[in-house]
Amino acid sequence: MNDVKLAVLGGEGTGKSESVYSKHLYLEGKQLNLEIYDPCSQPKKAKFSLTSELHWADGFVIVYDISDRSSFAFAKALVYRIREPQTSHCKSCVLHFRAVESAVLLVGNKQDLCHVREVGWEEGQKLALDNRCQFCELSAAEQCLEVEMMFIRIIKDILTNFKLKEKRRPSGSKSMAKLINNVFGKRRKSV
CA distances, 111 to each of 23, 39, 44, 63, 159 (Å): 27, 24, 29, 12, 28
- Selection from 25, 23, 27 nearest residue 36 by Cα: 23
What are the b/e assignments for 18-37, b being 16+ CB within 10 Å?
eeeeeeeeeeeeeebebbbb
Summarised one tens digit per residue, pLDDT across range 13-30 is: 666 556 677 778 888 788
pLDDT at 17: 57
Rounded to two decimals, the pTM is: 0.73
Residue 77 burial by CB count (10 A; 0-12/13-18/19+): exposed, middle or buried? middle
pLDDT at 1: 55
Report the mean per-residue pLDDT for the chain.
76
pLDDT: is 187 or 110 the higher one?
110
On whether the CB atoms of residues 7 and 51 are closer than 8 A, the answer is no
Summarised one tens digit per residue, pLDDT across range 35-54 is: 888 765 444 444 445 666 67
CA gap 159, 153 in Å, rounded: 10
